[in-house]
Amino acid sequence: MSDPVFTAWARLLRAQTHLLGVVERELKQAGLPPLGWYDVLLELSRPGCDGLRPVELEKLLLLAQYNLSRLLDRLEKAGLVERRAVAGDGRAQRVVITAAGRDLRERMWPAYRDAVRRHFAAQLSDREIEMLAQMLGKITA
Amino acid sequence: MSDPVFTAWARLLRAQTHLLGVVERELKQAGLPPLGWYDVLLELSRPGCDGLRPVELEKLLLLAQYNLSRLLDRLEKAGLVERRAVAGDGRAQRVVITAAGRDLRERMWPAYRDAVRRHFAAQLSDREIEMLAQMLGKITA
DNA sequence: TCCAGATCAATGCATTTGCATGAATAATTT
DNA sequence: AAATTATTCATGCAAATGCATTGATCTGGA
């Protein structure tokens, strides 16, 4: 296990598990829904975004089709998104964020941001953050 | 979202999700159990390790107590580990790997190692791997 | 000794995920 | 046009996870 590759791999898994754990815990403690909800709401509220198809969200968020389908069920039930028919393609749908959805995302953001700053950014220098981003970017590139 | 911190954060989540996805997929395709099984078996088969308590595994692997309890149920049912009583503490138990457990871990290793090399290490130089490890180490430190 | 509090592990129940498949529409081939 | 194949999304069922609680010890005072 002195192999540098597996040291890095192990630390990647460990860091992610740890960070996701604390961040989710803080969100929950603030009475907010899980990060997965945030991710969807964020994509749908990007400037100029007039709704997205499930199949597009799937690729953006690396979610399995059936998981996204049910996540959208929950978001819709909570009144945060709406599914609309797509003219010209009877299979597809367009998922649109509602006012309540935008509102929730905006309320989640401070808690999310602060948790990431405190548990992630605070451990690293600005220079390190940038190098980290640069290297991690190569993986999914 | 041009904030370097959140660029790094987003890439961390993305890289991990992607890597875990492909690695798990390859393990499954090779007819092998999930990574979580490997992690437990690895800890239990470290040289000089004479079994570990669930509470120790919990901390090593960052698992929730109830999740570990049930993971051990599965491993035990599959004949890969045994739970033994601890002399002197009636609450505790000692989890010990079996011969079948060692065997499985050894069979998982090549598939795991190759997947990590191909999807993770291959994207980065040796120097980058080391820097990555160094930075990620600071997070859980 | 006895009791209050802490630690260790299991479990009932609800939620979420994974897997396989299905249902509907679109695109392509013949 | 008809038939085949591909795409998009949903869903039944099983497995795993999260949450709260329980049961059983152990520990440290009164």
* pLDDT (tens digit per residue) in B20-53: 999 999 999 999 999 999 999 999 999 999 999 9
Q: The pTM is what?
A: 0.94
Q: B5 at the A interface (CB within 8 A)?
A: yes
Contacts of A108 (CB under 8 A, 6+ apart): A27, A32, A33, A37, A38, A41
| Residue A117: HSE in the Cβ half-sphere, 13 Å Cα cutoff | 7
For testing contact with chain B, the best of A9, A24, A108, A134 (most B CBs within 10 A): A9
Q: How confident is the model at residue A103 (pLDDT cuts 50, 70, 90)?
A: very high
Look at B14 and A141 and tell me if their CB atoms are within 8 Å. Answer: no
Among residues of chain A, what percentage have pLDDT more than 70?
A: 99
* pLDDT over 80 (residue A63): yes
Q: How confident is the model at residue A2 (pLDDT cuts 50, 70, 90)?
A: confident
Are A109 and B112 in contact by the 8 Å Cβ rule? The answer is no
* pLDDT over 70 (residue B65): yes
Q: A25 at the B interface (CB within 8 A)?
A: no
What is chain B's mean pLDDT, rounded? 96
Long-range Cβ pairs for the range A32-35 (8 Å, 24+): A32/A104, A32/A107, A32/A108, A32/A111, A33/A78, A33/A104, A33/A108, A35/A112
Q: How many angstroms separate the Cα of A29 from the Cα of each of A89, A107, A111, B25, B47? A: 42, 14, 10, 33, 41
Look at A140 and B14 and tell me if their CB atoms are within 8 Å. Answer: yes
Q: B120 at the A interface (CB within 8 A)?
A: yes
In tens, the pLDDT along A83-100 reads 999 999 999 999 999 999
Residue nearest to nucleotide D17 (CA to C1'): B67
Q: B126 at the A interface (CB within 8 A)?
A: yes
For testing contact with chain B, the best of A5, A62, A126, A128 (most B CBs within 10 A): A5
In tens, the pLDDT along A29-45 reads 999 999 999 999 999 99
Q: How confident is the model at residue A1 (pLDDT cuts 50, 70, 90)?
A: low
Question: Which pLDDT value is given to residue A141?
Answer: 76
Domains and CATH numbers, chain B: 4-140 (1.10.10.10)
**Alpha-carbon distance A61 to B136, whole Å?**
23
* pLDDT over 80 (residue A25): yes
Within 8 A of A4 by CB-CB distance, chain B residues are: 126, 129-130, 133
Distance D29 C1' – B91 CA (angstroms): 22
